[in-house]
Amino acid sequence: MPELPDLTDTVRFDDAGLVPVVIQDWSTGEVLTLAYANDEALRRTRETGELHLWSRSRAELWHKGATSGNVQRVRDLRVDCDRDAVLALVEPAGPACHTGARTCFGAPDRPATADGSLGPAETARDRLAPHEVLPDLERVLAARRAAPPEGSYTAQLLADRAFAGAKVEEEAEEVFRAAREESDERVDSEAADVLYHLLALLRGRDRTLTDVVEVLRARRG
């Protein structure tokens, strides 16, 4: 567990002794929840490495996921420039929202509608921000691996490592050819094909983009 910074003497709490906490997925950068913490919640978070908050509705300390099992392991805590808001970077063990959605902000896989219900996945994917696209694709790949649709090209990639490897090699050659001979738009398209096939290859080996990024992070500097 990483040693978390002690923010209790840094944060400027409001008149109720609370500070807003933006909770963000450590791996994907997606915002999961907005909640509040008091001095004790920040202290318990630092001591346990799991997110603790203050429930304004129940007026009590709240260990996120203690009942559901969807705890959030905290990788870092950061305070903003005015010292009146905290960013918690977490590894969630499950859905962050009480509705069962992955996030509280109209989760891309189940977006919130005006009446509070959850809309279709197709509508959500039209609203994906750029940084959400690859995490969303990884979730699709995981679902395809768990329940392979009959005749699915993606399921074939996930099941056959040699086939997936050959497709990555083929698509990489097409990027090289496009970079040498074709338009920027073709380079973009072929590079997207490489990313798709590479993510499928990784998922077929129970690896994720985060595993690869961790290698890059370790090499940084």
Please report, for the domain that includes residue 59, its CATH number. 3.10.20.810
Structural domain containing residue 80: 18-92
Question: Cα–Cα distance between 212 and 164 in angstroms, integer?
Answer: 17
Q: Is residue 111 part of a domain?
A: no
Question: Cα–Cα distance between 216 and 214 in angstroms, integer?
Answer: 5
pLDDT at 100: 87
pLDDT at 16: 96
Phi and psi dihedrals of 86, rounded to 5?
Answer: -120, 140
pLDDT at 112: 45
pLDDT at 137: 94
Q: Give the pairing of strands 19-25 and 31-37.
A: antiparallel
Q: Is residue 114 part of a domain?
A: no
Q: Which of 69, 92, 115 is the last residue of a domain?
A: 92
Same domain, 139 and 79: no
> Which of the residues in the chain have pLDDT under 70?
1, 106-126, 221
Q: Is residue 147 part of a domain?
A: yes
pLDDT at 98: 86
Q: Which of 49, 70, 92 is the last residue of a domain?
A: 92
CATH of the domain at 148: 1.10.287.1080
Q: Is pTM beyond 0.85 here?
A: no
Q: Is residue 133 part of a domain?
A: yes
Same domain, 148 and 197: yes
Q: Which of 66, 17, 25, 67 is nearest to 42 (CA)?
A: 17
For the chain, give me the number of helices (H) and strands (E)?
7, 6
In the chain, how many domains are there? 2
Same domain, 81 and 130: no
Q: Is residue 109 part of a domain?
A: no
